[in-house]
Chains A and B, each alone.
Chain A
Amino acid sequence: MDNFFLLMEGFATAMQPMYLLFALGGVLVGTAVGVLPGIGPAMTVALLMPITYSLEPTAAIIVFAGIYYGGMYGGSTTSILLNTPGESSSIVTALEGNKMAKAGRGAAALATAAVGSFVAGTIATVLLSFLAPFVAAFAVQIGPVEYVALMVVAFLTVGALLGSSVLRGLASLGLGLFIALVGFDALTAQQRYTFGSPFLADGIDVVLVAVALFAVGEALYVASRLRHGPIKVIPVTGGWTSWLRKDDLRRSWKPWLRGTFIGFPVGTIPAGGADVATFLSYASERKLAKGENKKQFGKGAIEGVAGPEAANNAAAAGVLVPLLTLGIPTTATAAMMLVAFQRYQIPVGPQLFESNSALVWALIASLYVGNLMLLVLNLPLVGIWVKILQIPRPYLYAGILVFAVLGAFSVNFTPIDVIILLVVGILGFFMRRFGYPIAPMVVGLILGPIFESQLRRSLAISQGDPVALIQSPVAATIYVVLIVIFALSLLLKRRQRQFEAMVAANADAADVVRGSEAGTAGAGADASTTAPSVTAPGSPTSSAPSSPATSAAPSSPTSPGSDRKDTGR
């Protein structure tokens, strides 16, 4: 009951007009970046971090939460209307949603996505409100040894699972950990890897690296492969009444609920975030559909939009459980929110719920509010979101670069930071180019110092005996759970890959028809190269609609996307 009152207090904070405005701004920006392929919530939060210095913590965190949720809503719009997922967790939505839009049911697809996101987001936030305090109560009891175990879990899962290749993920993680070492050693005050330069003595700021990787690297990457030929937006026809018919609602509500209960748990365990949840939901909807509805799969089944869209929003709330209770980010956006907490000197980790309960509950309450805002805003404003896509990309990325450099300069007001930004940005470009996920590097950089101090503390307690690290029952349990999660995640990954191959094969068949019908297949193929990365094997650089051998068909946005997880969220 205690928690309920705390939540109500959170509402009292979040409902203040000022905070409502911040939430509104957050969800608007979030939806906009969700709509734009190549710009995700993680990049946005990174870019806004220096600008929000002057805000008080609650306002900043509310803005970031709004961006996080808004991105989830926005991604579905482009998936459905353009077959170009604005966001990695909306890739599955494009499968059925775009087919629906082609059949003139775009409005229904958008509506089921939005209402499903709302339903799932709200239920998942309720689950978060009740689950998080319990996890937090458990978390405060853990000591340095257990904390080290948790960090290992976070490192390995984020490193190995966020991305297409385990080795690349771990390499990226290692790079992050290395950059985290630069600067003064916290215990002995020795300088490490500073080359005697006073500029590096304080270490390299996390925000700097995040902005460089997410914004500069991405901008360079997009510039290096400017795509040719715009895509046609499928116009949304019909008024309010055609949005969700009775029949659609009847077919949608079960997938919404199923999506929620698939998405939330997947979000809470570090298994790669919302993407896995969407694919699981889609696969189960496909399996559960009966009769006529089953035949519609691949041709625009509303269940295939309702389920995954619910799942990705539920997973978004699920991700906040380990973030708020243990201080462990499992996605790129969560990592950036963790940085935001650190900026405000808020200790993330087990103590968060105890020491900053007002802030945490205001954040949770703002999730409820943000969800409602998104539902109300999203559908009527579809026209505006589509207009955003008409912004010429050079303008867009020039703006992002200016913002990035301004932000980098404002961290410490030294030009050397801008140089570091550009160097790391170029590194980010090459990482992106060669398929190294970015999220593990950022997570390594954020958690590295905490990990180091906890590890050294545990070893100091045990007088240098490493066995102590696995002797505590809780730590041992965590390691066992880690192994289980790993096995489970690898299994999931394999299933996802099989599923993608299957979908790609289906899409191939569909594409032969599509290619001849409109001749837009070429543009579609190009479109999927900007949003997802090119480095996935068999990625569509040229349109080859009739060859089932290519694992990634032009109209199937699924398979290149497996590589994009790192930037999307």
Chain B
Amino acid sequence: MSTIVVGYVPNALGEAAVAEAVEEARRRDAELVVINTTRADRLVNPAYADSEDVSKLEGILSAAGVPYSIRHSISEATAAEEVVDTAAELAADLIVIGLRHRTPVGKLIMGSTAQTILLSAPCNVLAVKLS
């Protein structure tokens, strides 16, 4: 069985990515691995799902009826590294991420997770846009 790795953030974009990944998983008959991590180096991180978000995510995924697992943890690695490493480890077929517009300054200071994933992924990447 093949695997699809999804980078999830608790907002509309993350949900769109998950929805798209579910579609892909059905089409490819694959297992979903949803990843959400934080480095815990800041006081507030809106990209990190709390337990409420996780249970909501579980609801969505189990309703979709595809096999899935959720990796929700605190790690030393950046979110991008975590996604790419997991994809390599599981020899995933596809990575699904959400893509949003960033200002150049924002990218300069904080780096772009999406860009890192796109460039260093070991497999194809599906970048989901918010319609």
Contacts and interface: CB of A to CB of B under 8 A. Distances in A.
Interface in B34-67: 38-46, 48, 50-52
A250 interface: no
Interface size classification for chain A? 20 to 34
Contact of A226 (B40, B48, B51): B40
Contact of B43 (A389, A518, A520): A389
Contacts of A36: 43
A164 B9 CA distance: 42
B74 interface: yes
A538 interface: no
Contacts of A519: 50-51
A82 B41 CA distance: 16
A227 to B, nearest CB: 7
Nearest to B45: A230
A227 B52 CA distance: 21
B42 A390 contact: yes
B44 A233 contact: yes
Interface of A is mostly: loop
A230 B51 contact: no
A530 B44 CA distance: 13
A389 B46 CA distance: 10
For the residues of B in contact with A, the DSSP-based class is loop
Nearest to B53: A232
Nearest to A386: B44
Given A518-B51, A518-B52, A520-B51, A390 B40 contact: no
Nearest to A391: B42
Contacts, number: 53
Contacts of B43: 36-37, 82, 84, 230-231, 389-390, 393, 527, 530
Interface string A377-390: 00000000010011
B80 to A, nearest CB: 15
A392 B41 CA distance: 5
A528 B74 CA distance: 18
A225 interface: no
Nearest to A394: B41
A384 to B, nearest CB: 13
Identify the interface centre among A82, A393, A530: most chain B CB within 10 Å of its CB. Answer: A393
A392 B50 contact: no
Interface in A346-397: 386, 389-394
Contact of A390 (B44, B50, B52): B44
A535 B50 CA distance: 29
B42 A389 contact: yes
Nearest to A232: B50
Given A518-B51, A519-B51, A226 B44 contact: no
B44 A392 contact: no
Contacts of A392: 39, 41-42
**Counting chain B CB atoms within 10 Å of each CB, which of A392, A518, A527, A530 scores highest?**
A392
Interface in A380-438: 386, 389-394
Closest 8 A/B residue pairs (Cβ):
A230-B45, A519-B51, A389-B44, A228-B40, A389-B43, A392-B41, A392-B42, A232-B50
Interface of A: 36-37, 82, 84, 226-233, 386, 389-394, 518-520, 523, 527, 530
